[in-house]
Each structure stands twice: as structure tokens, then as C-alpha cells.
Amino acid sequence: MGECTVLIYANGNNELEPEIARLLLTLESTEMPPKVTVLVQLGRAPYSLVSRIRPNIRPTNIDGDWSGVRRYKVLHSDRRANSVRTYSSKLLDTLNSTNMADPDTLSDFLQWGARNYPADKYIVVASGHGVGFIGLLSDYTTPYPQILPIPEFCSVLRDLKNTIGKPIDSLILDVCDMNYVEVCYEHVADGTPVTDKLLLSGEETPLAGLPIAQIIAELVSNGQVTSEHVLTIRLSYAPLSRLKECKQKDDTLGELLKEVKSISEKVVVSEDSLYPLMIWIPTDLSQYERYRKWYDRLSINSGKGSEGGIRNMPFPLLLGSLSVYNPDLSESDLYTLASSLGWDDRFSLD
């Protein structure tokens, strides 16, 4: 049995394709410790979609710019990531057009990896879009944009925990806006954590993503991560469950925060009662105002459920996502962009 199996679910079935495509090159150029197997399920959206959302982006020009979903076993190469344009890893499977926001797709990858590459330790990485307590791993290559809800994501991880007989050793969320108490709570919602260690961005996740290769190498080597972008949380059911239910003005809040701070020293509570308790919120007021509309859109859709483990992305949230790469577009321009992609006839502001 190998020492460690790393399962990376890299969802570039959206406008993040250039960054996600480069992730595999970075993994190849990073030498991992012995007895570490790194498996990647890589989704890549076609340039025609990426360029509509990011009009100034050039073709990625990596490995023939194929689109679809493929599985790789990472092979180390002495080539520098920024100097090569072809993958040297072993191609294990070609899945063609696959919905990466479907929990069954994620489950199939994780179960396949655990079954074919058993190990003493397991690290799971999810890379792609994140939209707070609404969900993560958005897929724009489907007829309408879809998103994987947090509860369904955690359910897949519980199934993996049952398969390997223990919690995942480390879960790395290389996605935006996962630093919510609600998100952390879902990982312990059945009373036991799905992972021993949850790693996520303590502030804004960089466009290029977290330094995944470095994080993996450090976790395997010494269990510690040095990146300033990464917040490490050891999940505990009791304080997170009580904090989730408590209100900002509740007298018990102060004591609960002390308890949660034993998990992480970076706990901050939003001062705006319209929003849920958060592990981090921008401390710079100008930065907070910049994201105010984004938080509003999250709040609008906080109560919507899912069907069959997948949900069509709520239209206000979709506009918020598009505005990240088109900050100068007006609201009407964003609607026009969504319409040009054929995404407007199934969505409303309700």
C-alpha cells in the first residue's frame, strides 16, 4: 500500500480553464516526496466559452487546447512549468463532455482513485469556482450553468470516508469564498468530520489558485503549510454547530468565538446582520464595498435548495460570477453577456 494518494478534482469547465490547465504543468514540475501518487481529473472548457466571458484572454495553448475531461497520473518532469506547453503525465482515461458540477462525477473519481490506488493517507483537492454557502465547482459547459451544492459535496466525501474506513487526512479547497462558518459546519454536519484537516484560503483566493503543489509537498513531508494564503482548520462539531445557530447579538457569541478560535486564530464575525457568520471578511472598508453586491447576491439565494444533487446556478449569482472578470460592465451589459451565452431564458431574479 502506498504512503499517500492525492486526488485532485480540477474543474476548468468554466472561464478558469487557463489557470486550471496550468495546474497540471505545475504539479509535473514539482518533485513530490517518495511514495506519493497524484491523480488528477482535469476539466477544460473550450476557448469559445472562455473568451466570451474573458474577452481579453488569449488561447491557453497548452497540450493542443483540447476540451472535455481527462484523468491523469502525474509524472514528474524536470521541465519548468512556464516553459512547456505539453503534459508529460500519464493519460489514464478520456471522459469527453462530463458535468464536473455533478456529485456523481466527483464521487466516481474519488472512489476510482481510492479503489485503484489504496494508501495509508489520502489528500483530496477541489479546484475551481466557489460561491460560498451556495456551492462550488461551477460547470459552464452544460446547457445551463450548474453548481455543486455544499451538502452534496460533503455527502460525497462521507461516502469516501466510508470506503477508506476513516476521515480524509487533508481536504484542500482551492476555490473562492469557502471561509464561511456554514461551509465548515457542513463538513461535520453528521457529527464527525469528513477530514482531519481542512485547508482553504483565509482571504481572497488568488486568480491562479492556491500553490497546490507546494501545499501537497509540505503536507506529506511535515504536516505543516507555510503559504500565507492558506488557513488550516481542524474541524470540531460542537463549537461550529452552536456558532452556526447563534446570532450576532447573542450573548453567547463571545464565548463561542473563543472556543472556535482554538481551531483558528483568524475568526472574524461580519458586523452586518444581513450576512451569515463568516470566518473572514475584508477588513479594508473599500474592499468590503467592492464585494458588497457579491454578498448581496449570495444572500438572495441562500435559501434555495437543489434537485438531484445539482442545481442550476441562480441568475443573480451567475451575474455576480460573470462580473468578477468583467468589473466595468453595467448590470444591463452583464445581462446581455448572459443572453449571448444562451443562459437567460431559464433564470429570473425571483
What is the separation of C-alpha 183 from the centre of its chain, rounded to a whole number of angstroms?
11
Place of cell 460533503: 154
State the architecture of 2-299 in CATH terms: 3-Layer(aba) Sandwich (3.40)
pLDDT digits (tens, 9 = 90+) for 164-185: 999 999 999 999 878 776 677 7
Higher pLDDT, 4 or 331: 4
List the grid coordinates of 252. 453567547
Higher pLDDT, 10 or 198: 10
> In the beta sheet, which residues pair with residue 136?
130, 148
The model carries a pTM of 0.82
Higher pLDDT, 59 or 223: 59
> In the beta sheet, which residues pair with residue 71?
41, 93
Rounded CA separation 67/209 (Å): 20
Give mean pLDDT, residues 133-139.
Answer: 85
Q: Where do the H-state alpha helices sit in the chain?
A: 17-29, 47-53, 103-116, 150-164, 181-186, 212-222, 237-245, 253-260, 285-290, 292-300, 315-325, 331-340
3-class state of residue 239 by DSSP:
helix
Is the pLDDT at 65 greater than 80? The verdict is yes
Place of cell 460547470: 139
Rounded to 5 degrees, φ, ψ at 142 are: -80, 165
Rounded CA separation 226/79 (Å): 24
Radius of gyration of the chain (CA): 20
- Beta strands 170-174 and 68-73 are unpaired
Residues of the chain above pLDDT 90, percent: 35
Q: So where are the chain's domains?
A: 2-299
List the grid coordinates of 289. 464595498
What pLDDT score was predicted for residue 285? 44
Rounded CA separation 72/333 (Å): 39
**Taking Cα atoms as reference points, which of 241, 257, 252 lies closest to residue 185?**
241
Q: What HEC string does 111-174 produce? A: HHHHHHCCEEEEEEEEECCECHHHCEEEECCCCCCEEECHHHHHHHHHHHHHHHCCCECEEEEE
pLDDT-derived band at 120, boundaries 50, 70, 90: very high
Give mean pLDDT, residues 104-127.
Answer: 96
